[in-house]
Amino acid sequence: MSVRRPDAEVQLAVAGYVRKSRAVALEGGGMSELSELSGRDMRILAFERRGWRSPGVKEQVIAEVLDIPATWYYQLLNELIDRPEALAFDPVLVKPQRARRQRVRSSRSKGRPA
User: For 19-62, what is each residue's pLDDT tens digit?
Assistant: 555 555 545 555 454 558 998 999 999 999 988 888 889 999 99
Closest alpha carbon to 82 in 37, 47, 51:
37
Q: Which residue has the higher pLDDT, 55 or 8?
A: 55
Domain count, the chain: 1
**Model pLDDT for residues 56-102, shown as the tens digit of each residue:** 899 999 999 889 999 999 999 999 999 999 999 999 999 999 999 99
How far is Cα 53 from Cα 40, in angstroms, rounded to an integer? 24
Position 3 in a domain = no
Position 69 in a domain = yes
pLDDT given at position 36: 84
pLDDT given at position 109: 84
Residues of the domain holding 83 = 8-109
pLDDT given at position 23: 52
- The amino acid at residue 86 is A
Position 100 in a domain = yes
